[in-house]
Structure 1
Amino acid sequence: MAPTATTAAVSIPLPSRPPRLDAVVAADDAGEFDFSDVFGQLPSVKEGEAADWGQPELHYVADTLVICSRSHSLVGPSPRPSLRVGCPLEECEAGDDAGGEDSDFSDAVDVEQQQEFDDTTRKLGPGDFELLNLVGQGAFGKVFQVRLKGSSDIYAMKVMRKDKVLEKNYVDYMKAERDIMTKIVHPFIVQLRCSFQTKTKLYLILDFINGGHLFFQLYRQGTFSEDLCRVYAAEIVSAVAHLHSKGIVHRDLKPENILLDADGHVKLTDFGLAKEIEESDRTNSYCGTVEYMAPEILLSKGHGKAADWWSLGILVYEMLHGMPPFTNRNKNKLQQEIIKGKLKLPGYLSSEVHSLLKGLLHKDPSKRLGSGGSGSCDIKRHKWFKCINWSKLDAGLIQPKFVPVVQGRACIANFDEKWTKLPAQDSPASTPRAADIDMFQGYTYVAPNVWLSGSSS
C-alpha cells in the first residue's frame, strides 16, 4: 500500500543497541535528538532510578550467571525471566543452537499429508530458502532472514526444535500459533505465508518486517507524543479488533510484540500465547508478561477478550509516559499493585487520554472499555480517537510522523547486532521419539494465494 501523508515524515538513524537512559538525556540536552513534537518529552525519573530503568536483569541458572534484557529482534527480546510466566521463547539458553555446528538445513521434509491448493502453490521445505542472516534466537530455536530461491523475495523463517518444544511441553502452543496465523489476514498483523516440518524441526515462513520493534523506538526516545501514540494505538486497536472478530485473544500485547514496517506502520506479531475462544467463554491460563497482564488473569478468575484491552491501556500509558503504570521488581508486589493499586495518571496528558486510560484500565473486565455489546466500536468512538478515520487507517492512508531508517527490503540495521553478527546456520537437533512424532501431525500449511507464483521448483 502507498500511504499519502499530509505531514512530512521524520527519519533518524538508529543505534545498534538501545542506549542507557542517561545517554538519551545527555543527547537530548545537546539538541542532537530533539524530536519532542513527534516523540514527546522523556519521562521523569526519580533520583537513583535511571540506572535501573531498562537495564539488564541478572539471575542464576545452575550457578551460571545469565543476563537478560529487553532488546529488539524478530522473536522479541531476551525477556526478564522473573516477570514472565508460561511464555514460549522464554529464555535464551546458553549454548543452545549457538551456531558453528554442522547444519541439517537440508534435512528432508517429513512425510505428511499435504493440503490441496491451486497450481500456484507447491510443497516447500528448508532447502527452498537461502539463509541470509540470523535475526533472533530463543529457547526453541532461531529466526532467520531468508530468500526464496529463484526469486528476490525476502521472508522471515522461524525455526523451532521439536525436542525443545517437547521438553517444555509447548506442543499445543506451537500448534495453536500456527493454526491461528492461518486464519489472519490484516494490514497491521504479520502474515504467515507457509509452514512445514522436518523430522527434527518446525518452520514458519513469515513476512519480513524490518523497521524494528516499537519497544526499541520507545526505549530510544523515552516517550511518544500523543499524536504519534494515537496512530500506533489506533492501528493496534484495528488489529486486535480483527483478532476478536475471529474469536482470537492475543494475550501477550506489549511493545516487544509490535514491529514497525518500512513505512512506520505497526505489525502485531508473536501468537505463541494466542487462544481461540467463544464469545461468552473464559480461559483460566496464567500466561503472558506480568506488567501487561489483566487483574482477572492474575486472580485466575477466567479471562476473555477484555484482557487484551487492558494490555492496550498499559501500552498507551507506556508510550506516553515511558514506563508501565504498575512496576515493581518484586513479582508478588507487582501483581498486588495490578490487582489493587490505584491508577496514577500523569498531569501533562490530555483529559481525553485520561478518559481512555481509565476506561481501558478498569479492573472489572465487565466494565472495561471495549467489553460491552459494541466491543471495539466503543474504543474507536472514544473522543481521543475522534480525529481518526478508521477506513483510511486500515487502507494505510494515515501516515505516522516517524518513519524508520530502512535501506531496502533486505536491510537488517534495526535488528540487534548480537544476533546479526552470528553465523546464519541452522544447527542440528535430535530426532524426537517415534511415539512423539504424531503430536506434530498436520503442521504443514501454504497460504491460499499466489505468493509463490513464478518461483522456481
Structure 2
Amino acid sequence: MGNTQSVLEKKGYTILRKVENGVIATDKDGDQFVIKEIKLNEPSDLKASAGGIFSEVETLLQINHPHVLSHKNSFQDDTNYYVVTDHCDGGNLAQKIKEGIPFSEEQMMDWFVKICMALKHVHELGLLHRDLRPQNIFLTKFVTLCLGDFGRVNENASQCGSSDNGMMGYLGPESLTGGIYDTKSDIWSLGCVLYELCMLQSAFTAASTIKLIPKILGGPYPSLPESFSPELHKLLCDIFQRDPTGRPSAGEILAEPFIISFLIKKVCNT
C-alpha cells in the first residue's frame, strides 16, 4: 500500500479506503474514483497479456455512454498499471438482489434493457465484458445503471486480492470446454443476470465447482415461472442455448417487439 499511495499522491489522488481489487481515492477537487492496480512484473502470463489490457483500457477511455462506467485515466510505473474509473456510490445490482425484495417487472425490465444497450455498444467497439454479473453492474447516487469492471482489467487486478470471484456460475458451456469466448458468451452471462433479477437467486448454483460444471454443460437450464410473460420465457430460453451461435445478439434482443413496446411505453410515460 505504501508504494501505491506514493504513486497515487504524485498523480494527485488521496486514498480513502481499500475496496475489492483496488482503492477509492479522491482527486484535488474532492471527486471520488476507484483505482485498480495491476502488477506487471508477475506472473509471466500476465506480462504476455499486458498489451491486450492496455489496448482494452485505451478503448474504454474513449467510451462515452450513459450506461457504461466512465474510465477516466490510466498510468503506470515500473511494476504496476493503474486504471481510474468513476466511483458509483449507489451500490450494485448484487446488493439490491441480496435485499430479497422482488423487483417490479417494470424496474427489472428497465435495468435489463439498459444492460443490453451498454453491452451492444461495447460489442460494436470490438470489446467483450468477460465478467458480466450483478456485482459488476453499478448504480450511481442518482440510480443510473452503469456496466463496469470489465473482465480483462478486473481479473488481473484481482490477482492482487481475492481470487474467488464467483464468475464460474455465469460462464457459458463453451467457456468450460475450451471454446472461444466471444460476444455470445457475454449474452449467456446476460441471461444469468436476467434470471437473477427475476428470481432473486442465481441461475446456476452447486455445493462445489465439480458439481456446478455438469449443470452448466448438461442442463436442464433454468426457466421462469408462469407469472412472467411468455415473451420473457422465450427470451431466456433463446439465451440459454448450449450452442453460442443460437443465442441472440444484444442488438437482436433490443429489437424484440416486447422490448420495443416497453421502450415506447417508457418514453410516453416520461
TM-score bin, normalised by smaller chain: 0.7 to 0.9
Q: What does residue range 266-415 of structure 1 map to in structure 2 within 5 Å?
A: 266-273=145-152, 289-345=167-223, 346-370=225-249, 376-389=250-263
Q: 1:201 deviation in Å?
A: 2.9
Match of 2:76 among 193, 197, 215: 197
**1:46-101: per-residue Cα shift (whole Å, max 9, x none)?**
xxxxxxxxxxxxxxxxxxxxxxxxxxxxxxxxxxxxxxxxxxxxxxxxxxx5xxxx
Residue 209 (str. 1) matches residue 116 (str. 2): no
Q: Structure 1 residues 321 and 366, CA, compared in 2 at 3 Å: closer, same or farther?
A: same
Counterpart AA for 1:190:
L
**3-state SS of 1:300 partner:** coil
C-alpha contact (below 8 Å) 2:88/2:139 kept by paired residues = yes
The alignment of Structure 1 onto Structure 2 pairs a total of residues equal to 254
**3-state SS of 2:228 partner:** coil
- The alignment's TM-score, normalised by the length of structure 1, stands at 0.51
1 or 2 for the larger relative contact order (CA 8 Å, sep ≥6)? Answer: 1
Q: 1:298 deviation in Å?
A: 1.4
Q: Hey, what's the Cα distance between the residues in 2 that align with 1:288 and 1:249?
A: 18
- The alignment's TM-score, normalised by the length of structure 2, stands at 0.82
**1:230 maps to what in 2?**
109
C-alpha contact (below 8 Å) 1:295/1:339 kept by paired residues = yes
**3-state SS of 1:315 partner:** helix
Q: Hey, what's the Cα distance between the residues in 1 that align with 2:169 and 2:269?
A: 30
**2:20 maps to what in 1?**
137
**1:170 maps to what in 2?**
46
Range 342-351 or range 185-194, more displaced: 342-351
Counterpart AA for 2:254:
K
Q: Hey, what's the Cα distance between the residues in 1 that align with 2:19 and 2:269?
A: 30
Q: 1:258 deviation in Å?
A: 0.8
Residue 158 (str. 1) matches residue 36 (str. 2): yes
**3-state SS of 2:23 partner:** strand
Q: Hey, what's the Cα distance between the residues in 2 that align with 1:353 and 1:369?
A: 13
**3-state SS of 2:45 partner:** coil
Q: Hey, what's the Cα distance between the residues in 1 that align with 2:10 and 2:209?
A: 44
Counterpart AA for 2:67:
F
Q: 1:135 deviation in Å?
A: 4.4
Structure 1's unaligned 5+ residue stretches are 1-96, 108-124, 275-286, 371-375, 400-457
Q: 1:103 deviation in Å?
A: 5.3
Q: 1:314 deviation in Å?
A: 0.7
Q: Hey, what's the Cα distance between the residues in 2 that align with 1:177 and 1:253?
A: 16
Q: 1:168 deviation in Å?
A: 6.8
**1:244-267: per-residue Cα shift (whole Å, max 9, x none)?**
111111121001111101221211
Q: Hey, what's the Cα distance between the residues in 1 that align with 2:214 and 2:269?
A: 39
Q: Hey, what's the Cα distance between the residues in 2 that align with 1:143 and 1:168?
A: 25
Q: Structure 1 residues 216 and 162, CA, compared in 2 at 3 Å: closer, same or farther?
A: same
* Identity rate, percent: 26
Q: Structure 1 residues 398 and 200, CA, compared in 2 at 3 Å: closer, same or farther?
A: farther
Q: What does residue range 19-30 of structure 1 map to in structure 2 within 5 Å?
A: none
Residue 242 (str. 1) matches residue 131 (str. 2): no
C-alpha contact (below 8 Å) 2:69/2:147 kept by paired residues = yes
Counterpart AA for 2:100:
Q
**1:31 maps to what in 2?**
none
Q: Which of the two has higher C-alpha Rg?
A: 1
**3-state SS of 2:99 partner:** helix
**More helix by percentage:** 2
- The alignment's C-alpha RMSD in Å is 2.8
**2:5 maps to what in 1?**
105
**1:197-242: per-residue Cα shift (whole Å, max 9, x none)?**
2234322221121110110111113542221110111110001000
Q: Hey, what's the Cα distance between the residues in 1 that align with 2:33 and 2:201?
A: 32
